[in-house]
Each structure stands twice: as C-alpha cells, then as structure tokens.
C-alpha cells in the first residue's frame, strides 16, 4: 500500500538526531510490547509480514505521531482482535472474558524463549528456475497494490542491475494477507542515485533494495 510508512525519498522530516548513550528501552511498557509481539508471533498468532501490515494500516496521522513501540502496540492489539484472539470488550474491561483461541504453536512459556533468539528461516525450495541472473538489467514494476508490498515507491519504474541472488524466500505480499508463503526468487537490485533522484542526485551514490521476482521486469 502507498502508506506513510514508505518513507524513502520523502522530504521535511528534519535532521537525524542520535541520542548519546541511548537505553535499550525508554520505558518499561516498551519492553513489554516488544516481548508480547515476539511471543505472540512465535506462538503462531500471526506472521511477521502480517504484523508489519497492521502497523502500515494505522491511520497516517497516528503512524506519524506515535513512537515506535506505540505503533507496535496499536498494531498488535488490533491484529489480535481481528484474528479472534481477544475481543474489544476484553480490551475495554482489561480482563479475559471469552474462552481462548488455540495457538498454532501453543502457549508461549519459558521453554520457548531460546528458540526465538535466532531469526526464523525464510528461504524455501524453488518452484521454478530464477528468471534473472547476476548482472541482468531489470526494471522495478510500476505497481501500486493497496495491500502489503515490500517494493518501495521510490524505485518503481526505475531500472537497475541484479547484484545478488538470495534464493527463493517467503513472499511478503502473499504472506501478509494470509494467502500462503508463495515463495519467490529474491535479488539485490542496485540503482544509480541519479536514476532515482534525477540530475540533482548524488552522482557517487548507489541504492539497492532486495526485490522479489514479481516486482521486476527485464529492462
């Protein structure tokens, strides 16, 4: 979707402001939100792409004015309600009132913690040979799906070169909408800064994205 989350190339957000000696969390609730998201994801309530989509679909003014973990919280609460793990009445009451929905991987207890300290695997067997090889010129499609996609707006319509082939991976555009993993070839595609940003672009810059095969046409 063409949401405010797709920020690459936007102007007006001001300077980057690093915080010296930044703590891991700025408040205890932030850490609880992080842990709940990791735990419920690991328990099988949702996949990582669906959780991203719920943050992206927050209203633009909410997305832009909420802190990072506030966005995580809002996305998590809404997603768990819509997926049937809790109800709005329970959220309003602050207590469980309905029977639990069973989780694909069961309750997230202490014994589960170590397994989420290693990232999940997203590579999958290929259903078809790769269409592109390293060095090929490709063009990012001019597509504007209203659902989840990982093709940022700033590269759409532009041509670049395939630099790496990462194999076949879970396709977020399908997984986010719970339409299955639909694995697709994944490439690093590099673009010249001036091709993306015009004559005023930095001539020494190159920008790459990781692009799934359905995002690309031969160029």
Partner 1 sequence: MSDHHHHHDHDHSELSETELRVRALETILTEKGYVEPAALDAIIQAYETRIGPHNGARVVAKAWSDPAFKKALLEDGSKAIGTLGHVSRVGDHLVVVENTPQRHNMVVCTLCSCYPWEMLGLPPVWYKAAPYRSRAVKDPRGVLADFGVAVPEDMEIRVWDSTAETRFLVLPMRPEGTDGWSEEQLAGLVTRDSMIGTGFPGAPS
Kindly identify the residues of this chain, within the stretch 34-73, that bind partner 1 according to CB under 8 A.
34-36, 38-40, 43, 45, 48, 52, 55, 64, 68, 70, 73
Residue 146 per-residue DSSP state: S
Residue 123 per-residue DSSP state: B
Minimal distance in Å, beta carbon 206 to partner 1? Answer: 5
Residues 183 and 170: beta-carbon distance below 8 Å: yes
Query: Contacts with partner 1 in 80-109 (CB under 8 A)?
Result: 80, 85-86, 90-91, 94-96, 100, 103, 107-109
Residue 112 engages partner 1 in binding (rule: CB under 8 A) = yes
Q: In whole angstroms, what is the distance from residue 33 CA to residue 61 CA?
A: 21
Pick from 110, 125, 135, 146 the residue near partner 1 by CB under 8 A: 110
Minimal distance in Å, beta carbon 179 to partner 1? Answer: 18
Query: Contacts with partner 1 in 175-214 (CB under 8 A)?
Result: 186, 188, 190, 196-197, 201-202, 204-212
Collect all residues with Cβ–Cβ distance below 8 Å to 72 and sequence separation of at least 6: 33, 34, 37, 55
Residue 2 engages partner 1 in binding (rule: CB under 8 A) = no
What's the number of CA atoms in the CB half-sphere (13 Å) around residue 144?
A: 4
Minimal distance in Å, beta carbon 180 to partner 1? Answer: 16
Collect all residues with Cβ–Cβ distance below 8 Å to 51 and sequence separation of at least 6: 37, 41, 75, 76, 79
Residue 151 φ then ψ, to 5°: -95, 105
Q: For the window 132-171, what string marks contact with partner 1 as x by the rule CB under 8 A? A: ------------------xxx-x---------x-x--xx-
């Amino acid at each position: 979707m063409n949401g405010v989350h797709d920020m690459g190339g936007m102007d007006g957000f001001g300077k980057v402001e690093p915080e010296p000696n930044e703590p891991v969390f700025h408040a205890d609730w932030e850490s609880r939100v992080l842990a709940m998201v990791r735990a419920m994801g690991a328990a099988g309530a949702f996949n990582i792409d669906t959780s991203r989509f719920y943050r992206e679909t927050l209203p633009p003014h909410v997305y832009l004015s909420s802190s990072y973990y506030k966005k995580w919280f809002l996305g998590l609460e809404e997603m768990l309600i819509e997926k049937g793990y809790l109800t709005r009445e329970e959220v309003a009451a602050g207590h469980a009132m309905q029977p639990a929905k069973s989780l694909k991987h069961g309750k997230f207890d202490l014994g589960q913690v170590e397994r989420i300290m290693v990232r999940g695997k997203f590579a999958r067997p290929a259903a078809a040979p790769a269409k592109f090889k390293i060095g090929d010129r490709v063009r990012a499609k001019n597509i504007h799906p209203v659902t989840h996609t990982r093709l940022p707006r700033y590269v759409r319509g532009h041509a670049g070169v395939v630099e790496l082939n990462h194999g076949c991976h879970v396709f977020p555009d399908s997984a986010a909408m719970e339409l299955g993993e639909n694995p697709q070839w994944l490439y690093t595609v590099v673009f010249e800064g001036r091709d993306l940003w015009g004559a005023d672009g930095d001539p020494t810059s190159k920008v790459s994205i990781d692009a799934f095969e359905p995002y690309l046409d031969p160029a």
